[in-house]
Chain A
Amino acid sequence: MKLKTMNKTTRSNMITYAMVIIAFVIVQIMLGTGNISSRLQGQLVPICAYIVMAISLNLTVGVLGELSLGHAGFMSAGAFSGIVVASCLSQNTSNEILVLVLSMLVGGVVAAIVGVIVGVPVLRLSGDYLAIVTLAFGEIIKGIVNNLYVGLDGSGLHISLIKNTLQMDGGKVLINGPMGLTGIPRIASFTVGFILIMVCLFVIFNLVNSKSGRAIMALRDNKIAAQSVGINITNYKLMAFVISAAMAGMAGVLFAANFSTVVASKFDFNTSILILVFVVLGGLGNMRGSIIAATVLTVLPEVLRSFSDYRMLVYAVVLIVMMLATNNPTLKNGLNLAWSKIAGLFRKNTEKGEQANV
């Protein structure tokens, strides 16, 4: 495909896909040659999970234009349901990829169902009110999972909200209330994470550039006008919200399957805000920005370990400086100019190449 014949959006989407693929290839080469630190290697899967969280939240915040402060709640719903499935499946099959994919699908579906349950009453609200309710939702999920006991034995799954009533016949406890999930089958892999990112990008980009995506953005721009052209506000709000929740659920499974233990309090308000920071810093509606912000802000605190006691201070300052810098028109223009120059060079080269081919 010729880069210049595409329209602006398509070109920008292609660049994003290319960026992710190139990053994946580079990391694979590093892994292959062993030129990677254990620290970075350990962070690969969480980075993938956070990227998916960021782009899915960006669908709600950037594309739909509604502030959600409970995105980690969907991650939690997906993580806990998906890992229960993974634990059951991995007793019967040893194909890790299959188990992971199936459990991610289940996690996604469960998170989507939770999204519908939350979305139907909540999406009547908007703005600050919606933000407050989603915040509460995240805490409710945390509270429920903190009191959830799930065990697996010969006769199947046992679920209870009080541990003592979990009538187990041997077997093992999968979700142990506040102790969360322990003994998780660690089946997450960077490749699956990469594929998940690509799938989510594909869904979001294609959604945005279709009838439904346009309707979602129309709600963001002007609700009254959207109604006046016959767009069903509730349906499309819910659609964006649920797709976003499903992706967060899948990211949750990926994330949890990378560690041997996950507790409900991991997916708290702070995590929701962290993801929101990725989105805001990367730019509302800007998926590429979300990907970069999620990566940088996940790696940064670890890189800053050399600052020992001051690392969180430095992290905060870097964050503030980045916020200021990305919102600075002078700097932005400068970057755009630089970028267009580079792109111009590139274009000239390809044109030359094409002429040469002719």
Chain B
Amino acid sequence: MSKMIPIPSTGYLNERDIGKAPILEATHLGIEFGGLKAVDDFNLTVGRTEIAGLIGPNGAGKTTVFNLLTKVYQPTHGTILLDGKDTHGMNAIQVNKAGIARTFQNIRLFSSLTVEENVKLGMHNHTHYNTLEGILRMPRYWQEEKRTHERALELLHIFDMEHLAEHKAGSLPYGAQRRLEIVRALATEPKLLLLDEPAAGMNPSETEELMENVRKIRDIFQIAILLIEHDMQFVTGICEGIAVLNYGKIIAKGTPQEVINNPEVIRSYLGNRRAIMLKVENLNVYYGMIHAIKDISLEVKRGEIVSLVGANGAGKTTTLQAISGMLKPKSGKVSYLDHNLLATPAHKIVQYGLSHVPEGRRVFAQMTVLENLEMGAFISKDKVKNKNNLDSVFEHFPRLEERKRQLAGTLSGGEQQMLAIGRAMMASPDMLLLDEPSMGLSPLLVKEIFKIIKELNEDGITILLVEQNAKQALSIAKRGYVLETGKIVLSGNAADLLENDAVKKAYLGG
């Protein structure tokens, strides 16, 4: 008995799907973690062949929704109808068998197995021989292995990955790992595919290709796809319907056009993309008689990474300290959105959404990792948001979750840096001031930290980055400023600065 939908609750249903039963119908879905509502009264309908998007700021509860749909968490309220059938009481395995497959924000592959084995594992429940037949190598084993082998290559062909079949999944480059996760999910023959930030960490051309492939998958398999993504170009370019989540609740639904013009969505999530967030004008700082910062002006626009590079003692840290109110400048003007920061006490600045991650990490060594993070959420009384923020920190830094009961002082340098950034994120900042995040870290960790900074930015956080490691800092930034003995000597697009001979000579080692 298929259920007809009275009102398409995405606010949009593509023509193909009108008159057909929706594949997914979630009503009044909610979950509480010890009294706090991480997701509340979530309603969403996804059409049979629809590509739908779920967007929202960090900590809004998007991944939690995925976890509810796939029964990683059992919802405390509401119902989920999959293809008209109630999934109440099902576990994660049964839901998968019923037709939901997913990918993960932090990639979860079977990394020690080959690419082909990963895909074959996706086909696990569609491989028809039992253990004994497998051990004794009965004819069915050979037939089925042959069939699944061919099918695996077919599926890998979608992303042109057949040639990687014999490689270990863990050894693949990042983008390929993301694609493999999608292939593995497809191998389970889902009716609904959930993609958690599929484009994260991909470069623009890879993202472009992914868009095409997602459409192709929908067209070939005739399935519905629901995706979480921060890249608005990706979302608006591919999704037919979009729902926006904030504080665990849906604040808007509709077509991409409707959603991006919704005033509440702009206010809480999209913001004015071109607006200047931070503006520093003619800043002068003195240490006693020493003129440390000489008439500096700079600006940071929403959604940018801006790098402030320079040698030791050029005045980078001093500049940041003046911005975040830790130092009193002699003259100048610092404004953040509409606030005059020079007239605001340091603790208030945090409430405006601007967080400073100081140099040398400064974690609370005698507190556990979890306590440190909770300190970061000190100003916020909103438990839902804190819980979601914590989840999001752990998503970005799985290593912190592993060590959440450990004393911060016992962490390695890299982990302390992660903790410092994580702590700042707990205040759900719109903008982060990062002071030398790569200082004293091994090359491998430096790479990882910069990768995470990029991910944070992709999640919508604006970043002003102060670094000695000019090459790395400029390579992830949109724009950059070069500081020399308290003066800005160069500024411009990061890519241009990287190519600039003077910069190369001074900071990039020739």
Contacts and interface: CB of A to CB of B under 8 A. Distances in A.
Interface of A: 7-8, 202-203, 206-207, 210-215, 217-218, 220-222, 224-233, 239
Contacts of B111: 221-222
A213 B104 CA distance: 24
A225 B93 contact: no
B387 interface: no
Contacts of B113: 214, 217-218, 221
Nearest to A232: B93
Interface centre among B117, B135, B136 (most CB of A within 10 A): B135
A20 B360 CA distance: 57
Contacts of A227: 72, 92-93, 96
A45 to B, nearest CB: 26
Contact of A229 (B72, B96, B137, B145): B96
B185 interface: yes
B75 to A, nearest CB: 17
B72 A214 contact: no
A199 to B, nearest CB: 11
A206 B135 contact: yes
Contacts, number: 93
A225 B135 contact: no
A109 to B, nearest CB: 15
Given A214-B120, A215-B121, A221-B113, A229 B134 contact: no
Nearest to A206: B135
B102 interface: yes
A228 B134 contact: no
B122 interface: yes
A224 B73 CA distance: 12
B282 interface: no
Nearest to B129: A211
B122 A207 contact: no
B273 interface: no
Given A211-B127, A226-B121, A206 B136 contact: yes
Given A207-B134, A207-B135, A239-B131, A214 B121 contact: yes
Interface residues of B, number: 36
B124 interface: yes
B101 A229 contact: yes
26 contacts: A206-B134, A206-B136, A207-B134, A207-B135, A210-B145, A211-B127, A211-B131, A211-B134, A212-B131, A214-B117, A217-B110, A217-B112, A218-B121, A221-B109, A221-B113, A222-B109, A222-B110, A225-B110, A227-B72, A228-B92, A228-B104, A229-B185, A230-B96, A231-B93, A231-B121, A231-B124
A214 B152 CA distance: 14
A227 B127 CA distance: 16
A357 B120 CA distance: 39
Interface string B415-434: 00000000000000000000
Nearest to B128: A211
Given A211-B129, A222-B109, 18 more contacts: A203-B135, A206-B137, A211-B124, A211-B134, A211-B144, A221-B110, A221-B112, A224-B104, A227-B72, A228-B70, A228-B92, A228-B102, A229-B96, A229-B121, A229-B124, A230-B93, A230-B97, A231-B121
Q: Which 8 A-B pairs have the closest CB atoms?
A: A210-B134, A230-B96, A225-B108, A221-B110, A227-B92, A212-B131, A206-B135, A230-B125
A226 B141 CA distance: 22
Contacts of A229: 96, 101, 121-122, 124, 184-185, 187-188
Contact of A225 (B104, B112, B120, B166): B104
Contacts of A218: 110, 113, 121
Contacts of B112: 217, 220-221
Contacts of B145: 210
Nearest to A215: B124
A202 B136 CA distance: 9
- Point out which of A202, A213, A215, A218 has the most chain B C-beta atoms below 10 A from its C-beta: A218
B230 to A, nearest CB: 22
Given A227-B92, A230-B93, A210 B101 contact: no
A222 B108 contact: yes
B359 to A, nearest CB: 35
Given A229-B188, A230-B188, A212 B125 contact: no
A227 B144 CA distance: 22
A229 B120 CA distance: 10
Contacts of B127: 211
B121 A210 contact: no
A233 B93 CA distance: 9
Interface in B134-161: 134-137, 141, 144-145
B223 to A, nearest CB: 16
Nearest to A239: B131
Contacts of B184: 229
B151 to A, nearest CB: 13
A220 B125 CA distance: 18
A239 B136 CA distance: 16
Contacts of B121: 214-215, 218, 226, 229, 231
Interface string B399-413: 000000000000000
A239 B134 CA distance: 13
Of the candidates A210, A211, A227, A231, the one having the most CB atoms from chain B within 10 angstroms of its own CB is: A211
Contacts of B110: 217-218, 221-222, 225-226
Contacts of B129: 210-211
Contacts of B108: 222, 224-225, 228
A206 B104 CA distance: 31
A213 B121 CA distance: 10
A221 to B, nearest CB: 4
A217 B112 CA distance: 8
A304 to B, nearest CB: 36
Contacts of A207: 131, 134-135
Interface string B181-199: 0001101100000000000
A221 B96 CA distance: 19
A203 B108 CA distance: 29
A207 B117 CA distance: 14
B135 A210 contact: yes
A128 to B, nearest CB: 13
Contacts of B109: 221-222, 225
